[in-house]
């Protein structure tokens, strides 16, 4: 029975990959994608203007494609089907190592994460105390959740992550005691706790490079230089208004990125299916 269930799961995964696999890529066309954080309609509003802008810059067609779901996004990424990608630093690091992508530009600032517990929970004082306990977090491969997993080298000792749809939901459940703790962006915790004052932090992670754009090997060196220049130019701001409204609300300039910014971050994905660094 156990073997049959595993086989059934594998079939479901294969069907998911097939259902959302990319159509044939034309020789003169490049595929741009990003994590499926929202519906295709909403994501198109953010990314399609960027694809159109960069198409004009290069004189070649760049097409934004919504991946459909996380399984397809990961599968297509692992197979090197994306030419241009915007996502988190752990994925950036992995693509540098495995699919010959190079980082172009990154968002300003650092990404850091906090683990919180209810303010009146005096029994939990550091992340070690969460061993085997429940922690509310977004589903892996969310970077906040992978960060807490990375603190426990022995998987048996890892907390049990209870999936939530948003950081505010995790905060609320931890404050009520539904989960012992919650993991989220440090800035989100500070924002929520300033108003509600229901939690306290037991761990803050070190800051790492922010989300970034990467380009794959189908782009030539000169084309990559043009992409960097275009994304850093002042004219890009007007072309990327929806993008900045979501990811860069303070409007600080986007920064050049290099490989050193993302060294070692691929290790956060080591336990996520298909992202083993030992894979050929």
Q: Domain range spanning residue 221?
A: 2-109+209-269
Taking the C-alpha atoms of residue 173 and residue 193, their distance in angstroms, rounded to an integer, is 13
Whether 187 is in a domain gets the answer yes
Taking the C-alpha atoms of residue 23 and residue 246, their distance in angstroms, rounded to an integer, is 28
User: Do both 44 and 171 map to the same domain?
Assistant: no
Domain termination site, one of 184, 205, 226: 205
Taking 80 as the threshold, does the pLDDT of residue 15 lie above it?
Answer: no
Please give the backbone phi and psi of residue 270, each rounded to the nearest 5 degrees, phi first: -60, -30
Give the count of domains, the chain. Answer: 2
Mean pLDDT of 60-71: 97
Condensed to tens digits (0 to 9), the pLDDT of residues 31-45 reads: 999 999 999 999 999
Taking 90 as the threshold, does the pLDDT of residue 11 lie above it?
Answer: no
What pLDDT score does 4 carry? Answer: 37
What pLDDT score does 2 carry? Answer: 36
Question: What is the distance of C-alpha 242 from the center of its chain?
Answer: 18
User: Do both 35 and 13 map to the same domain?
Assistant: yes
* CATH number, domain containing residue 56: 3.40.190.10
Whether 278 is in a domain gets the answer no
Whether 39 is in a domain gets the answer yes
Domain termination site, one of 185, 205, 225: 205
User: Do both 7 and 104 map to the same domain?
Assistant: yes
User: Do both 185 and 236 map to the same domain?
Assistant: no
Q: Quick check: helix, strand or coil at residue 42?
A: helix
pTM of the full structure: 0.89
- Write down the mean pLDDT value for the chain: 91
Over pLDDT 70: what percentage of the chain?
Answer: 90
pLDDT band for position 279 (50/70/90)? Answer: low
Over pLDDT 90: what percentage of the chain?
Answer: 85
Mode of pairing for the β-strands spanning 160-163 and 134-137: parallel
User: Do both 93 and 232 map to the same domain?
Assistant: yes
Structure token pair of residue 29: 């066309």
User: Do both 177 and 232 map to the same domain?
Assistant: no
User: Do both 96 and 218 map to the same domain?
Assistant: yes
What pLDDT score does 26 carry? Answer: 60
Taking 80 as the threshold, does the pLDDT of residue 19 lie above it?
Answer: no
Greater model confidence, 163 or 273:
163
Whether 120 is in a domain gets the answer yes
User: Do both 215 and 83 map to the same domain?
Assistant: yes
Taking 60 as the threshold, does the pLDDT of residue 3 lie above it?
Answer: no
Whether 165 is in a domain gets the answer yes
Q: Read out DSSP for 214-274? A: EE-TTS-HHHHHHHHHHHHSTHHHHHTHHHHHHH-TT-PPPEE--GGGGTTGGGGGTTSTT
What pLDDT score does 16 carry? Answer: 44
Whether 190 is in a domain gets the answer yes
Find the DSSP H helices in 20-154: 40-58, 70-78, 89-98, 143-150
User: Do both 78 and 15 map to the same domain?
Assistant: yes
User: Do both 105 and 120 map to the same domain?
Assistant: no
What pLDDT score does 144 carry? Answer: 98
Q: Report the range of poorest mean pLDDT among 89-93, 123-127, 153-157.
A: 153-157
Condensed to tens digits (0 to 9), the pLDDT of residues 159-180 reads: 999 999 999 999 999 999 999 9
Whether 276 is in a domain gets the answer no
Whether 279 is in a domain gets the answer no
- 154, 156, 159, 162: CA torsion to nearest 10: 130
């Amino acid at each position: 029975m156990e073997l049959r269930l595993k086989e059934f799961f594998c079939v479901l995964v294969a069907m998911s990959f097939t259902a959302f696999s990319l159509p044939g890529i034309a020789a003169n066309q490049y595929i741009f994608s990003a994590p499926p954080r929202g519906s295709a309609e909403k994501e198109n509003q953010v990314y399609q203007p960027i694809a159109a802008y960069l198409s004009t810059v290069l004189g070649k067609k760049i097409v934004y494609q919504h991946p459909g779901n996380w399984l397809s996004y990961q599968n297509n990424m692992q197979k090197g089907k994306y030419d241009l990608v915007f996502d988190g630093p752990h994925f950036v690091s992995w693509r540098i190592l495995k699919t010959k992508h190079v980082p172009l530009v990154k968002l300003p600032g650092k990404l850091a994460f906090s683990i919180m517990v209810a303010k009146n929970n005096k029994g939990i004082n550091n992340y070690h105390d969460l061993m085997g306990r429940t922690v509310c977090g977004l589903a892996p491969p969310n970077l906040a959740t992978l960060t807490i997993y990375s603190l426990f080298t022995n998987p048996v000792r890892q907390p049990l992550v209870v999936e939530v749809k948003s950081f505010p939901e995790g905060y609320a459940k931890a404050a009520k005691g539904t989960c012992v703790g919650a993991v989220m962006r440090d800035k989100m915790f500070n924002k929520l706790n300033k108003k509600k004052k229901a939690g306290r932090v037991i761990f803050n992670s070190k800051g790492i490079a922010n989300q970034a754009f990467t380009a794959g090997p189908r782009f030539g060196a000169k084309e990559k230089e043009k992409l960097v220049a275009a994304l850093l130019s002042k004219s890009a701001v007007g072309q990327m208004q929806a993008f900045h409204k979501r990811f860069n609300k303070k409007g600080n300039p986007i920064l050049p990125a290099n490989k050193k910014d993302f060294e070692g971050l691929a290790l956060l994905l080591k336990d996520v299916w298909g992202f083993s660094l030992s894979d050929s």
